[in-house]
Amino acid sequence: MNQFELLDSRLREELARRGITEPTEPQTKAIPAILSGENVLLVAPTGIGKTEAAMLPVLHKLAGSKRGGVRCVYVTPLRALNRDLLRRLNEFGKAVDLKVAVRHGDTSQSERTAQSKSPPDILITTPETLQIMFTGRNLRQHLTHVKFVIVDEIHELAEDERGAQLSVALERLARIAGEFQRIGLSATVGSIAEVSNFLAGVGRTVSTLTVSAVKDMRISVESPAQTESDRDLASKLQTDLKHIACMKRCRELVEEHRSTLFFVNTRDSAEALGVRYHHWDEAFKVGVHHGSLSKEIRIQMEDDFKAEKLKALICTSSLELGIDVGSADFAIQFNSPRQVTRLIQRVGRSGHRIGEVSYGKIITTAPGEIAESLVIARRAMIEELEKFNIRENPLSVLANQLVAMTLTEGRVDKEWAYATIKRAYPFRNLIRAVFEDVLRLLAELHILWNDETGFRRKTTGMKYFYDNISMIPDEKTYKIRDVSSRSIIGTLDESFVATYAEPYSTFVTRGRTWRVVEVGEDEVMVEQIRELAATPSWVGEEIPVPYEVAQEVGAMRRLLALELYPGDENAKNELTHWIKTQGEHPLPTDKLVTIEQGVGVVVINCCFGSKVNETIAKLVAGLLTARFGESFGVQTDVYSIVLETPRSVSAADVVKVLKETDTSSLGQLMRLLIRNSSYLRWQFVHVAKKFGAISKGADYKMLNLSKLVDVFEHSPIFEEALAKTLWENMDIDTASHVLKRIQDGSIELKTGPLSHIGKEAIGTRKELMQPQRADRAVLNALKERLLKENVVMVCMNCRTQRRAAVAQLPEKIKCAKCGGVLMAAIQPYVKSQLDVLKKGASNEEQRKELKRIYKNANLVMAHGKKAVLALVSRGVGPDTAARILARYQTEEDEFLRDILAAEIMYARTKRFWD
Chain segment 121-159, per-residue pLDDT in tens:
999 998 988 998 888 888 889 999 999 999 998 988 998
Q: What is residue 800's predicted lDDT score, i.e. its pLDDT?
A: 87
- Helix segments in 694-751, DSSP class H: 705-711, 716-729, 732-743
Exposure b/e, 391-402, CB count within 10 A at least 16 = b: bebbbbbbbbbb
Task: Give mean pLDDT, residues 39-47.
Answer: 88
Residue 884 has pLDDT above 80, yes or no: no
Q: What is residue 591's predicted lDDT score, i.e. its pLDDT?
A: 97
The total number of residues shown for the chain amounts to 914
Q: Name the band, by pLDDT with cuts 50, 70 and 90, for residue 478.
A: confident
Q: What is residue 831's predicted lDDT score, i.e. its pLDDT?
A: 63
Residue whose C-alpha is closest to residue 6's, from 35, 30, 40, 26? 35
Q: Give the residue with greater pLDDT, 496 vs 389.
A: 389
Q: Give the residue with greater pLDDT, 244 vs 896.
A: 244
Q: Name the band, by pLDDT with cuts 50, 70 and 90, for residue 215.
A: low
3 state DSSP class of 319: helix
Tell me the per-residue pLDDT of 398-447, one tens digit each, with 9 for 90 and over: 999 999 999 987 899 999 999 999 999 999 999 999 999 999 999 999 99
Q: What is residue 405's predicted lDDT score, i.e. its pLDDT?
A: 93
Q: What is residue 512's predicted lDDT score, i.e. its pLDDT?
A: 72
Mean pLDDT, all residues of the chain: 84
Residue whose C-alpha is closest to residue 904's, from 230, 238, 226? 238
Distance CA 543, CA 339 (A): 8
DSSP string, 789-830: -EEEEEETTT--EEEEEGGGS-SS---TTT----EEEE-TT-
End-to-end CA distance of the chain: 64
Residue 537 has pLDDT above 50, yes or no: no
3 state DSSP class of 211: coil
Q: Name the band, by pLDDT with cuts 50, 70 and 90, for residue 905.
A: very low
Answer yes or no: are the C-beta atoms of 424 and 170 closer than 8 Å.
yes
Q: Which percentage of the chain shows pLDDT scores above 70?
A: 86
Residue 387 has pLDDT above 50, yes or no: yes
Distance CA 109, CA 397 (A): 28
3 state DSSP class of 289: strand
HSE-up (13 A, CA, CB side) for residue 295: 7
**Residue type present at position 9:** S
Q: What is residue 487's predicted lDDT score, i.e. its pLDDT?
A: 80
Residue whose C-alpha is closest to residue 332's, from 704, 319, 321? 319
Residue 118, φ and ψ in degrees, nearest 5: -135, 90
Distance CA 881, CA 648 (A): 35
Exposure b/e, 474-496, CB count within 10 A at least 16 = b: bbbbbebbbeeeeebbbbbbbbb
Residue 498 has pLDDT above 60, yes or no: no
Task: Give mean pLDDT, residues 851-862.
Answer: 87
Residue 598 has pLDDT above 90, yes or no: no
Answer yes or no: are the C-beta atoms of 168 and 397 closer than 8 Å.
yes
Q: What share of the chain is helix, strand, coil (3-state, %, to 5)?
A: 50, 15, 35
* Torsion angle of C-alpha atoms 226, 229, 233, 235, degrees rounded to 10: 90
Residue 312, φ and ψ in degrees, nearest 5: -145, 155
Residue 320 has pLDDT above 70, yes or no: no
HSE-up (13 A, CA, CB side) for residue 488: 14
Task: Give mean pLDDT, residues 185-198.
Answer: 89
Q: What is residue 568's predicted lDDT score, i.e. its pLDDT?
A: 94
**Residue type present at position 190:** G
Distance CA 269, CA 902 (A): 16
Q: Name the band, by pLDDT with cuts 50, 70 and 90, for residue 468.
A: confident
**CA-CA-CA-CA torsion sign (290, 293, 295, 300):** negative
